[in-house]
């Protein structure tokens, strides 16, 4: 997806602000969820919550504590003492873990794979389920992740499932990571495939479209094309 400009419509923002919806966007890595969710929330005047960042936050804390990914008791104790929160400051939207800004650490490829592994653990999902629902108490929110419409907010007002072909998702991820890590496209695609398998086949809250979700394939769409399509659906619920 390429980014292009779309005029900001303030009357649209006011209209949506009047009816504060909970919107969920689920889908695999590289489908464009993060970018699209952020712009959609901006256009609606809503809050935006990247729940993958929360799983990544737990992974960063687990790595710092030297925990084994299968140590469920250790992960449980870690979560009991973990305060994850998003804070908007002069640097933008940042993720804090027990008062430390960990935003710069969460996209590390090692953390990406660790987040996928620990996200299959019931203690971790339970901890983040409570936190995510707490974050929805002020309505007017766009939540993006894997199980937003299926498990965390089954009664959400509007649910989307965003997908794209594996090749295009790998190309997008590679473009994002390349400058920072120098990873080859082959490695990026293999990691993406492994993560898709982990996330879709785990017994607990696997990645799958929610009942009643609107499916969008972003393979041949621009970012703004996806956002505009989503807005046209959201409009039906206002």
Using CB under 6 A, list all residues that contact ligand DC.
29, 51-52, 55-56, 115-116, 119, 145-148, 195, 199
Cβ 61 to ligand DC shortest distance, Å? 14
How far apart are the C-alpha atoms of 187 and 199, rounded to whole Å? 18
Cβ 83 to ligand DC shortest distance, Å? 19
9 vs 180, beta carbon nearer ligand DC: 180
Cβ 148 to ligand DC shortest distance, Å? 6
15 vs 107, beta carbon nearer ligand DC: 107
**Helices of type H across 65-209:** 72-80, 109-118, 122-135, 166-181, 185-201
CB atoms inside a 10 Å sphere around CB 103: 19
117 vs 224, beta carbon nearer ligand DC: 117
Cβ 122 to ligand DC shortest distance, Å? 12
Q: Is 134 exposed, middle or buried (0-12, 13-18, 19+ CB in 10 A)?
A: exposed
53 vs 230, beta carbon nearer ligand DC: 53
Cβ 69 to ligand DC shortest distance, Å? 13
Q: Is 215 exposed, middle or buried (0-12, 13-18, 19+ CB in 10 A)?
A: exposed
172 vs 195, beta carbon nearer ligand DC: 195
How far apart are the C-alpha atoms of 173 and 193, rounded to whole Å? 12
How far apart are the C-alpha atoms of 83 and 99, rounded to whole Å? 8
Cβ 10 to ligand DC shortest distance, Å? 30
55 vs 161, beta carbon nearer ligand DC: 55
Whether the Cβ atoms of residue 176 and residue 153 lie closer than 8 Å to each other: no
How far apart are the C-alpha atoms of 14 and 37, rounded to whole Å? 18
- Please list, residue by residue across 12-25, b when 16 or more beta carbons sit within 10 angstroms of its beta carbon and e when fewer do: beeebeeeebbbbb
Cβ 50 to ligand DC shortest distance, Å? 7
74 vs 109, beta carbon nearer ligand DC: 109
């Amino acid at each position: 997806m390429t980014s292009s400009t779309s005029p900001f419509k303030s009357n649209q923002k006011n209209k949506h602000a009047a009816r504060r919806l909970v919107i969920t966007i689920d889908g695999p890595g590289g489908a464009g969820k993060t970018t699209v969710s952020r712009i959609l929330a901006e256009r609606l005047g809503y809050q935006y919550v990247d729940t993958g960042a929360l799983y990544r936050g737990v992974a960063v804390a687990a790595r710092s504590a030297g925990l084994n990914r299968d140590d469920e008791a250790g992960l449980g104790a870690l979560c009991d003492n973990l305060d994850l929160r998003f804070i908007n400051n002069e640097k933008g939207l940042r993720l804090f873990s027990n008062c430390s800004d960990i935003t710069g650490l969460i996209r590390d490829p090692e953390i990406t794979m660790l987040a996928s592994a620990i996200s299959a653990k019931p203690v971790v999902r339970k901890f983040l389920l409570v936190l995510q629902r707490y974050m929805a108490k002020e309505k007017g929110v766009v939540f993006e992740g894997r199980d937003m419409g299926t498990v965390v907010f089954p009664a959400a007002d509007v649910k989307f499932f965003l997908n794209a072909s594996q090749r295009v998702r790998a190309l997008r991820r590679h473009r994002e990571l390349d400058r920072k890590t120098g990873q080859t496209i082959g490695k990026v695609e293999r990691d993406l495939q492994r993560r898709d398998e982990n996330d879709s086949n785990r017994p607990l809250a696997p990645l799958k479209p929610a009942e009643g979700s609107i499916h969008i394939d972003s393979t041949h769409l621009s970012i703004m094309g996806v956002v505009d399509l989503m807005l046209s659906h959201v409009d039906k619920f206002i």
